[in-house]
Amino acid sequence: MASESGLYWCETAWLGSALATPHVLVQVEAGAITGVLSGVECPAKATRLAGLTLPGLANAHSHAFHRALRGRTQVGNGSFWTWREQMYGLCERLDPDSYFRLARAVYGEMAMAGITCVGEFHYLHHGAGGTPYADPNAMSAALVAAAEEAGLRITLLDACYLHGGIGQVLNAQQRRFSDGDALAWAVRASEAVEALSGPAVRVGAAIHSVRAVDPAGIEVVAEWAERHDAPLHAHVSEQPAENDRCIEVYGVTPTALLAERGVLRRQFTAVHATHLAGADIGLYGAAGSTICLCPTTERDLADGIGPAWALRDAGAHLALGTDSNAIVDMFEEARAVELDQRLASQVRGLHDSVSLLRAATVQGHASLGWPEAGRIEVGAPADLVSVRMDTVRTAGASAHTLLETAVFAAGAADVHHVVAGGRVVVSDGRHCSIDVAAELGAVIGELVEGFS
């Protein structure tokens, strides 16, 4: 479904400056923005978008299946490592059919939250015991089909996963993640590029972590990404134990190891980067890499607070992700970057609303290989996310505080209209083709029956 006239009139819109612009008319044709005019009255044929309209939000780091753990990992003490065991248990219950159903509902939830592009960090590749499906990319295909039905663009970040830890063999659950060696991963990833790429689909690469991929394998993945001009992501320094083991075995930090093996570049995104040395921060800045922060997951798993301000000031770019999908709310991810830094530094205002919106839009899209997206301008994909400014959370904002109100007070529930690639995906706060709540309830109920 699309606007019949191809015209959208925004009560106010963020066009990239420090203030929202009133009365913006956006013209759309063939899924792209072909005109942007400000200060005009609403034409009779235009779709009227109340409140504040933003570019589509980019969720730069997702593990869709983790959504089924929401509310089930909050009892008792523990850590990232105990949570991981519960996550492994869930993996055993998924196959291509159930993963499609779950991911479609999860991506529907993302669309309702204003997300128009998702980076799916995908490592659940194979069947029980690591046996490949008849189509070795069946799980990848399920994710791509789910995104299409939910109305999102997707960057499938195909993850290489070879070891159970540095110097450790894979355990029974981890065998589903592994292709055996990096060259076999590269063959399957290349097949995914050929089979799955399309106008709304791009395939990138991921090094799961230095825990799961040895230095020689890291080089193979990095070379594959460079050869395919593809984005490259990796989990980096999420936990101190990862740093300690990397230094013990390789004599350098995870970031330094990645740098030595040719990973750090502008198309590289380090996910989390929570526990960094000062030299690590400088390496990311010099390379112009992106850091994808996932604050709601990082606090949920007791990971810690990363040096976002220092990374940005060193020259790194920031993006945002919902990661474990314990919460799907990019406004919460954005403000958490600043609010968590306030707790750590006892200083306010290190990240303003514009820089946080850029992390949620243009910088997130760039990290996923869509540098043309995340802007309301001619030539960009027609991604428009309209946020109500008359709810109990947002009412009272002035023309000069719309952006701050959106970032620091609004939530996913305030999104009322979403256009993705010219297609109306959400209208009046409801997904246009999926009963998201019902589908989430049904598929998660089946997956977690008897699960502890």
The pTM score is 0.97
For the segment 169-178, the average pLDDT, to the nearest whole number, is 95
Indicate the pLDDT class of residue 89, thresholds 50, 70 and 90.
confident
Mean pLDDT over 6-20 rounds to: 98
Q: Which CATH architecture group holds 7-55+376-436?
A: Roll (2.30)
pLDDT at residue 354, rounded to an integer: 98
Mean predicted lDDT score pLDDT of the chain: 96
Annotation: CATH topology of 58-367? TIM Barrel (3.20.20)
Note the pLDDT tens digit of each residue in 123-137. 999 999 999 999 999
Across the range 368-391, mean pLDDT stands at 98
272 tagged catalytic: yes
E strand residue ranges, 14-72: 21-29, 32-38, 47-55, 57-62
Q: What is the mean pLDDT of residues 41-60?
A: 98
Please tell me the predicted confidence (pLDDT) of residue 76: 80
Domain ranges for the chain: 7-55+376-436, 58-367
Query: What's the mean pLDDT in 185-196?
Result: 98
Q: Is the pLDDT of residue 170 over 80?
A: yes
Q: Which amino acid is at 363?
A: Q
Burial class (CB in 10 A: 0-12, 13-18, 19+), 324: buried
- Which of 122, 163, 235, 272 is catalytic? The answer is 272
Mean pLDDT over residues 412-440, rounded?
Answer: 98
pLDDT at 5: 82
Q: How far apart are the first and last CA of the chain?
A: 41
The predicted pLDDT at position 451 comes to 65
Q: What ranges make up the beta strands (E) of 70-152? A: 115-122
The stretch 252-270 carries a mean pLDDT of 98
Q: Report the SS3 class of residue 199.
A: coil
H or E segment and range at residue 425: strand 423-427
Q: Are 120 and 77 in contact, with CB atoms under 8 Å apart?
A: no
Mean pLDDT of 195-208: 98
Band (452; pLDDT cuts 50, 70, 90)? low
What is the Cα–Cα distance from 412 to 225, expressed in whole angstroms? 33
Non-local CB neighbours of 194 within 8 Å, separated by 6+ positions: none
Is residue 81 scored above 80 in pLDDT? no
- The single residue of 214, 280, 303, 323 carrying the catalytic annotation is 323
Residues sharing a CB contact under 8 Å with residue 68, sequence separation 6 or more, in sequence order: 90, 102, 443, 444, 447, 448
Q: Quick one: average pLDDT of 304-321?
A: 97
Give catalytic status of residue 66 as yes or no. Answer: no
* CB-CB contact of 6 with 28 (8 Å): yes
State phi, psi for 227 to the nearest 5 degrees. Answer: -65, -35
